[in-house]
Amino acid sequence: MAETTKTLRVGLLAPVPELDPRAGRDFVGATILEQLYETPFDPPPKPDAPARPVLFAEPLASENGGQVLSAPVRPGRRFSDGTPLTAELLAEALGRSERLADQAAIEARDGRVVFRLARPIPHFDLTLSYRYCEVALEKGGQAVGTGPYRLAPDSTPERLRLDRNPEQPGRAGIDEVLFVTYRPDADGRPTAMLRAIESGEVDFTNALSREHIGELKGVRKWLEPGSATAILYFNTERPALADASTRRALALAIDRAEAARISYHNPLSFTATGLLPPMLGSWRDGIAPDPKRAAALLAAAGDARPRRLTMLVIYGPRPYLPQPRAMADHLAARLRAVGVEVEIRQAQSIEQYFREVARGDYDLALSGWVPDTTDAADFLDTILSPRSVPSSARPILMDGNLSRWRSPAAGAALERFRREPNEASKAAVLELVSEEVPLLPLMYGPTIYVYSQRVHGFKPSPLGIPRFAELSLSDL
């Protein structure tokens, strides 16, 4: 009797248009790429813990006072097309990462991959766990990985299927993973997804909000609070927003607790007080709502005051922003109250959103960020570094500086925080954000998982990206 294929059915709220590990991605794309590609090291489960070698056989060895690091490739690793992973292929793949190339020269030598650091980088093994270090082999115009799954040829953006990597036997407890898109209603409510979960059509999702999972019964739920930040970005390249006092005025016009009430019944638990999500630390930026002062600052700007601004809004619900359109309408009303009209432009797809972000043709952007690692320096670098300003000339893989803030002082402070990861150097970065107000953190979003009774072995990740190879399925 033939064995039944064990299929994990995963529900999404948006289709997946792009699975190139070097191209732009969002939370959904990252979830899928995690199953296909691996990084040289696994990120640590918590801050200050060591990274675990994955594609290397051992931790990095140091030479020349820490300026040169190297490690041998783990034997037996193969790409899903059967090609053995070698030091040469690993070095070549890592060398294609623009972000990594800024930090080190990479070469293969005697079966080892050698990194010659451009500057001292503490915990470089952690850097090699970042998603921009995912290793892919270019083959026939496609990218293949060493992960536990491979992309099935019958996949479409709306219905995407992964099957086991035949070159990594025993690594996956589930035969295949099927990702199906259930688009939200026009008002953002995920009615189709909720029905699919209740009927047993969906086994797993990390795409629902805290409010919506309360409607579900007969399933397991896991909530990890404070793991992402919703952000209103001020495009500092626009003349109307070039002055920090104007940006501060817009920030003071907004009551963040009231904004959080749009998505949560207990808003104070989610209201942002600073840029870092609580899982990465805490900070109070000192920005309290004060519409009268906001109006006074705008009046003092005279003819330079902004009277009409455009707001780019992310295309659909995210972990940090369950109801993007409702939030955009609320923010527009608050700014209108101090004399600034806002034209809302919500992207209709991830492709459109990435294009608009790359062009920078907006005054305000309503979006946010889910951390890629448990390192606060990585999160801050992604949101604030001048190197992280998106452009059409490079992928938006890690480019989250939607404020397009090119502050030399911030760049220097971020470099110092990388070299000296302590509270004082972190505070120096966040103080600059409080002073210059390139953005306004709005609220913190939780990581939420919903999974059926037939799913076993689930271990939540604070970063919200599950590893399906670690799960098993039972028949109900």
Name which of 30-34, 120-124, 238-242, 430-434 the model is least confident about. 120-124
Is the pLDDT reported for residue 3 higher than 60? no
CA distance 275 to 366: 14
In this structure, CATH architecture of domain 229-446: Roll (3.10)
Give the pLDDT confidence of 265-280 residue by residue, as tens digits.
888 889 999 999 998 8
Q: Tell me the average pLDDT across 355-368.
A: 94
Q: Tell me the average pLDDT across 139-156.
A: 89
Is the pLDDT reported for residue 329 higher than 80? yes
- Which residue ranges make up each domain of the chain? 7-19+147-219+452-473, 38-144, 229-446
Name which of 354-363, 369-378, 405-414 the model is least confident about. 369-378
Q: Tell me the average pLDDT across 426-442.
A: 97
At residue 397, the pLDDT reads 46
Higher pLDDT, 398 or 451: 451
In which region does residue 159 sit, left (phi positive, over 0), alpha (psi from -120 to 50) or beta (all else)? beta
Tokens representing residue 311 in the block: 């707001």
Alpha helices of 310-406 — where are they, by DSSP H?
Answer: 324-336, 350-359, 376-384
Question: What percent of the chain is predicted at pLDDT more than 90?
Answer: 60
450, 205 Cβ separation under 8 angstroms: yes
Q: Which residue has the tokens 């086994």?
A: 203
Give the pLDDT confidence of 46-64 residue by residue, as tens digits.
666 778 999 999 999 998 7
CA distance 374 to 118: 23
388, 369 Cβ separation under 8 angstroms: no
* Intrachain domains 38-144 and 229-446 with the same fold: no
CA distance 205 to 214: 14
Highest mean pLDDT among 63-67, 228-232, 278-282, 354-358: 228-232
At residue 308, the pLDDT reads 97
Single-letter residue type at 370: V
Q: Tell me the average pLDDT across 301-307.
A: 92
At residue 2, the pLDDT reads 45
Q: Give me the CATH topology for the region 7-19+147-219+452-473.
A: D-Maltodextrin-Binding Protein; domain 2 (3.40.190)
Round to the nearest angstrom and report the end-to-end CA distance of the chain.
20
Q: Enter the DSSP assignment of 166.
A: T
Give the pLDDT confidence of 239-263 residue by residue, as tens digits.
999 999 999 999 999 999 999 999 8
Single-letter residue type at 431: E
CA distance 192 to 198: 10
* Three-class SS state of 280: helix
Name which of 244-248, 300-304, 404-408, 433-437 the model is least confident about. 300-304
Of the candidates 60, 127, 136, 126, which has an alpha carbon nearest to the alpha carbon of residue 94?
136
Of the candidates 231, 192, 180, which has an alpha carbon nearest to the alpha carbon of residue 357?
231
CA distance 437 to 247: 6
Who's near 196: CB < 8 A, 6+ residues apart? 11, 180, 182, 202
Q: Global pTM?
A: 0.81
Q: Tell me the average pLDDT across 283-309.
A: 95
Of the candidates 129, 419, 417, 120, which has an alpha carbon nearest to the alpha carbon of residue 283?
417
At residue 1, the pLDDT reads 37
Give, for 51, the enclosing helix (H) or strand (E): none
The domain 38-144 is placed in CATH, from the list 2.120.10.30, 3.40.50.970, 3.40.50.2300, 3.40.190.10, at 3.40.190.10
43, 51 Cβ separation under 8 angstroms: yes
Q: Tell me the average pLDDT across 358-377.
A: 90
